[in-house]
Every structure is written in structure tokens, then in C-alpha cells.
Structure 1
Amino acid sequence: MDIYRPPVTVAASTPRVNVNEVMKGVYMWMTAGLGTSALVAVLFAATGLTLTLYPAYILFLFAELGLVWYLSARIMRMPAQRATTMFLIYAALNGATLSVILYAFALSDIYVALFATAAMFGAMSIVGYTTTVDLSKMGSLLFMALIGLIVASIVNIFLASSALYWIVSYAGVIIFTGLTAYDTQRIKNQVVLIDQMSAEGDTATLTRRVSILGALILYLDFVNLFLFILRIVGRRR
């Protein structure tokens, strides 16, 4: 459960990869990552591993952060299969940490939050993919807002303010809704600049690499949007 957005640096190039193929791969691997997280979360909760391993969850969080940083920095220089495996390992670790929500919230509220997240994410991703409006300026504002959101969340750990809790929750929904559109457009636009991100690799390899990186970015948007919506609609047990 982390609020993190990996950087992507590109250089101009003549593309060898197809935009539609890459975006298809992005959504396919994002869905695979979400499915892996959901499966692991259910298994951990059902078998009691969530409670057994709970003291070690801080290690899980550090491992997740390390994997995200490593993937975002090295993905264009590692074998495509290794990148895929590491992404799924990250999704599994995140599923283990997410399993705590099955103890903290009613199952019906989790379903409502999941449905609302899927609807909002789908709508905003379509907007980001189809719009001709440049969302880059919005992305800069959203990134600054995200930093403020992280700071406010940390501060509220000590303040335990109910008002700040709700402000952070609604702000989180707005920010990650916007980031979904921005990141979708960013991934789509960067497909045409992808060749110089790697000196080696055939078209299939490049397509898989950028698909995994895009899947990681949108996976993080989806999960964080879901968590903030759950904070709003969920009734804590």
C-alpha cells in the first residue's frame, strides 16, 4: 500500500513499437498484477497469514519500494521476462500487505469501493487515451498535490484529526483520478519515443518492457484510488 510514482525518462526516436499493442499489453499486465494482488490478499486473509506475518509487514513495504525503484530505473536494460517476473512479485507483496483491509473493512464496502474504482479508473483512462488536450501541465500540478497529500497523511498519523482524515481521503480520490488520465496519456505519448530508451532489443522485447512499466504506473494509480475510495465508503470493523 504505497503512494509512489516511478519516473520515466525518454529521448526522441523513430518508433518500432505499435501504440495499440503497447497499450493492450499495459492493460493486460496491469490486470494480471491486480489479479495477483487480489489472489494473494484473499489467501493471506483466509489462511491467517495476515495476522501471523503482520509484524514483518514493514519489511514487505520496504521490499515493495525497492522493487518499484529498481524496475523504474532498470527496466529498459533488463530482460523482458525478468521485468515481468519482478512486477508480479511486487504485485504479490502488495497483495500480502493489502490483505489487512479484509480484516479492517466490511466485505460489502470493499466490493463497493472496488466497483467505484474500476468505473472511475476506466472512465479517466479512456479520457487520457482519447483526448487531444495536453495534460502535461495538469500532471505537474497533480504531482505537487501528491507531495502535499503524503505530507498531510504523515502529519495526521500524529494529529489523528478526523477533519484532516476526510480532507486527505477526498483529495486522494481527486488526485489519483486525475493522475489516471495523465499517466494514460503519458504512456501513450512515450510509445513513439521508446527506441532510444534501450540500445538493444527487438520490437517484441521493447513492447514488453514499456508495457510492464506502463502497467506498474497504472497499477499504482488504481490501487491508491481504491484505497482512498475505501476510506470514504468503508465502515471500519
Structure 2
Amino acid sequence: MQNWSDPRTTTAYEPAASVGVPRAARDAGLRSYMLSVYNYMASGVLLTGIVALLFASSGLAQQVLATPLRWVIMLAPLGFVMAMSFGLNRMKTSTLQLLFWAFTVAMGLSLSSIFLVYTGTSIATTFFAVAAAFAGLSLYGYTTKKDLSGFGTFLIMGVVGLFVAMLINLFVQSTALQMAISVIGVLIFAGLTAYDTQKIKSMYAYVAGTDMMGKVVIMGALNLYLDFVNMFTFLLQFLGDRR
């Protein structure tokens, strides 16, 4: 999902950032850090939804997505993610922030097609169902004492397999395969929500008080955003009512 390091909370040594820091102060810092991640993530989802709705309701989405420009719109989010991931160490935090907001706008343009395909009721129902599931899964990832790193490796391999299956289905156009992809996609990104939350939490001890903290907040928000949006789109494909 990203190329920043993945320390676990079960390491055998105490990170230097936490040495001599009172427990209450560390807990307060962690809460502030996680709140920043969730604020970025939620704001990104909200911005994406607004852009998608406005683009679709204006009539521009139907016109533009019927032209070759649709490929630019569909691939632009991937370009932003790659730029943020591979340029993380070289970029300033402000640059990373700008790319994050540009990414969420690009995702809004890309996701505008759902308003042309599915009913508003099914989109709203799916969104709130995913929001509730995301909250529960993220809470589990935050509070569990179990190390989820092993599951993460398996789930990321599952994402690769899912991508391959989606490419194959572009050519075979199998309804049964599409349904299987949707169900498996929901399960994979549900698992990744818990895994990524634990991973983001574990990063705090290593970046607290450093220049990397702002960058890690943004990248953490990006990963949770991707988990949420992918879970939403796969569930919508599975349960959504078409127009």
C-alpha cells in the first residue's frame, strides 16, 4: 500500500522518541496524532464526494467520460499515489498535503460515474454501511493487542491478485467473476482497514517530535482513505441498485 516503514508495536526496544516522556503525555500525543490522520482522511472522503456529485449533476461527467479523456481521469489518482509514495522523503510536508488534496479531487472526478450508474438511495445506503463498518474495523485495529502484520502481508498479496482478476475480467466480462471480485474486494479492504490502523498507530513512537510526523499523518490518511473508498466501491458493485 505504501513504501514507508512498518515497525510493529511488539519491538523489543523502546523508541528513542518516547524515552523519558510521561505515559500521559505519550497517550495525549498519540490521540492527537491519530485524530489528525482521521481528520485528513474524513475531509478527503468528503471532498471526493462533493466533487463527484457536482461533476455528475452538472452533466459534464456524462460528456467527458464518453471521450478518451476518461482514461486520464481514471488513471490520474494512481499517478498521485505513486508520486506521493515514491517522493515522500524528498517532498516537503506542504507539497505532500497539496498532492493529497489534488488526489482526492481526482478521485472525485473518477468516482462521479457511480452517480450515473447507481441510484442515489443505494449510494447513500452503501456509504453509511461502509462508514459504520470502517469505524468498527479501525477501532479494532487501534485497540487490539494482536500483531496484525502477518495478516497484512496476506491481504496485500490479495490486493495484487484482485487487480489481476479485474484485468482478466475486462476481457472476459464474466458476471460471476465480477461478483466474486466485489465480495473478495470488500473482505480484503475490510481487513486492511484494521491492519493499516494498527500500522499507523505503531508509527507514532518512531516519528513523534520529528519532521516526518506530518508526512506520516498524510500517508496514513491516504491509506485509510483508500481502504474506505475501495470497500465502498466494491460493496456498491455487489449490492447497489442500478438506474
TM-score (norm 2): 0.87
Which whole-Å CA distance do the structure 2 matches of 1:100 and 1:233 have between them?
Answer: 16
**What residue number does 1:199 align with?**
none
1:14 lines up with 2:16 in the alignment: yes
Of the two structures, which has the highest relative contact order with CA contacts closer than 8 Å and spacing of 6 or more?
1
Contact 1:23 1:188 in 2 (8 A): yes
Do the aligned partners of residues 75 and 138 (structure 1) sit closer, same or farther apart at CA in structure 2, a change above 3 Å counting? same
The aligned counterpart of 2:51 is: 40
Alignment of 1:60-209 (within 5 A): 60-194=73-207, 203=210, 205-209=211-215
Kindly indicate whether residue 229 of structure 2 is the aligned counterpart of residue 223 of structure 1. yes
Contact 2:62 2:116 in 1 (8 A): no
User: SS at the partner of 1:70?
Assistant: helix
Coordinate RMSD, CA, aligned: 1.9
CA contact (8 A) 1:22 1:210 kept: no
Distance apart, 1:78 and its partner CA: 2.1
User: What secondary structure sits across from 1:77 in the alignment?
Assistant: coil
**Residue by residue, what CA displacement relative to the aligned partner does 1:163-222 show, whole Å, maximum 9, x if unpaired?**
111111111111010000000001111122237xxxxxx65x533221111000000000
CA distance in 1, matches of 2:80, 2:51: 17
Structure 1 stretches lacking a partner, 5+ long: 196-201
The aligned amino acid for 1:27 is: Y
Match of 1:210 in 2: 216
CA distance in 2, matches of 1:228, 1:15: 40
Q: Is the 8 A contact 1:106 1:236 kept in 2?
A: yes
Q: Contact 2:119–2:241 at 8 Å: present in 1 too?
A: yes
> How many angstroms does 1:52 deviate by?
2.6
Q: How much has 1:150 moved relative to structure 2?
A: 1.1
Q: What is the TM-score normalised by the length of structure 1? A: 0.89
Distance 1:85 1:147 in 2: 28
Distance 1:15 1:181 in 2: 25
Measured after TM superposition, the shift of residue 51 of structure 1 is 1.9
Cα separation, 2, equivalents of 1:73 and 1:19: 26
Partner of 1:198: none
Cα deviation, residue 143, structure 1: 1.1
1:18-61 deviation per Cα after TM superposition (whole angstroms, max 9, x unaligned): 32222111000001111110111111011112123212121123
Q: Distance in 2 between matches of 1:23 and 1:73?
A: 23
Distance 1:43 1:219 in 2: 20
In 1, the alpha carbon distance for the partners of 2:175 and 2:123 equals 21
SS of residue matched to 1:236: coil
Indicate the SS of the match to 2:87. helix
- Cα displacement (A) at 1:144: 1.3
How big is the shift at 1:149?
1.1
**Matched-pair contact (CA < 8 Å) for 1:180–1:221:** yes
Q: CA deviation at 1:10?
A: 5.8
Structure 2: give runs of 5+ residues left out of the alignment. Answer: 8-12, 19-25
**Letter of the aligned partner of 1:235 in structure 2?**
D
Whichever of the two has the greater Rg, that structure is: 2
> SS of 2:116's equivalent?
helix
Cα distance between partner residues in 1 of 2:6 and 2:148: 17
2-side partners of 1:188 and 1:76: how far apart?
A: 20
Which amino acid counterpart does residue 228 of structure 2 have in structure 1? Answer: F
How many residues are treated as equivalent by the alignment? 226
